[in-house]
Structure 1
Amino acid sequence: MTTVLLASVLSSLWTVAAVLDAPPSSYLLAWFGIVLALIDLRHHRLPDALTLPLGAGLLLLQSHRLGEAAFGAAVFGGAHLAIRAWRPTMMGGGDVKLAAGLGATLSLPLLLPAAILSSTVTLALAAAKRGRAVPHGPGLLAATWALTTL
């Protein structure tokens, strides 16, 4: 059942990206995003074996603006690292690594909207789960995909 759901969501995201003539990063985000979101929702962890290649791939796709992409990765990842250092129970290390990779694909004006939208998605998930602990990774992935695709 999970495989069917995964394939359905992935094909839907790719169709939207194709219709909107989205950048290649949208397709990479869709593929890794669905898999990472499912893992994070189920196991509350984001494995380095997926987050690090995603970050590297997103950075490589931004080679035409490498300086800005590296700065975006440092700022977005750094902001999440600061939150983790301040309140370690609020965010895992996988979220920090994921945020750094995702920051590479976001333009600088989109970093704040990405943080707000990802937090909104996470809060909506928490409301749906009636206050139980929810991971932040799906919110980060959904917000980044939406902002880079739409």
Structure 2
Amino acid sequence: MTTVLLSFTPGALVLGALVGSLWTVAAVLDAPPESFVLAWFGIVLAVIDLRHHRLPDALTLPLAAVLLLLQSHRLGEALLSAALFGGAHLAVRWCEPALMGGGDVKLTFGLGAALSLPALLPAAILSSAVTLALAAFRRTRAVPHGPGLLAATWALTTL
């Protein structure tokens, strides 16, 4: 009989604790299903973006598909929200490529599907505030915007 030892890094433990915390908050508030999806994908994508300044398509595209599927009851509004939120970020990328990465733009199309039309402006403002706070905390101007986008979208869909 062999013994299997589970090895957890401190980062994996923190990641698990964060996902568990967000799931608990969403469950207590009886949040919609997209809150749970955003909790898992959001933590994983935020960690990757903070470490590598990348948002991999292998995670952002499935997230967009799942969020859109969860909005089948309001598909028209979800597609319009996705187009507006993603399109606004795409315009920023086209005008000033140094300000926003392509992964952020792809992410915003998916996140826009989970947001209602009235929540788009608050999401943009809140995500920018989170990114600025992260820059102040890290004492650098080179911070990814993905964590702010993910945090704002989770908060607006959950709370």
TM bucket normalised to smaller? over 0.9
2:56 maps to 47
Give 2:117's aligned amino acid.
L
- Matched with 1:95 is 104
Alignment gaps of 5+ in structure 2: 1-9
Instruction: Note the 1:11-26 alignment, pairs <5 A.
Output: 11-26=20-35
Structure 2: distance between partners of 1:129 and 1:5: 19
1:131 and 2:144 equivalent?
no
Q: Secondary structure at the match of 1:89?
A: helix
1:63-102 mapped onto 2 (5 Å cutoff): 63-102=72-111
| Structure label with greater radius of gyration | 2
1:9 aligned partner, one-letter code = L
RMSD of aligned Cα (Å) = 0.5
Partner Cα separation in structure 2 for residue 63 and residue 52 of structure 1? 17
Q: Deviations over 1:46-76 (max 9, x none)?
A: 0000000000000000000000000000000
Q: 1:140 aligns with which of 146, 149, 152?
A: 149
Instruction: Return the TM-score normalized by structure 2.
Output: 0.94
Q: How many residues align?
A: 150
Using the size of structure 1 for normalisation, the TM-score is 0.99
CA distance in 2, matches of 1:16, 1:134: 27
- List alignment gaps of at least 5 residues for structure 1: none
SS in 1 for 2:141: coil
Q: Alpha-carbon deviation of 1:77?
A: 0.2
Task: Provide runs of 4+ in structure 1 moved above 3 Å.
Answer: none
What amino acid maps onto 1:63 in structure 2?
A: S
**1:132 offset after TM fit, Å?**
3.5
Kindly state the Cα deviation for residue 130 of structure 1 after the two structures are TM-superposed: 1.1
Q: Quote how far apart the aligned CAs of 1:129 are.
A: 1.3
User: One-letter code of the match for 2:33?
Assistant: P
Question: 5 Å matches for 1:28-43?
Answer: 28-43=37-52
Q: Supply the AA of the counterpart residue of 1:61.
A: L
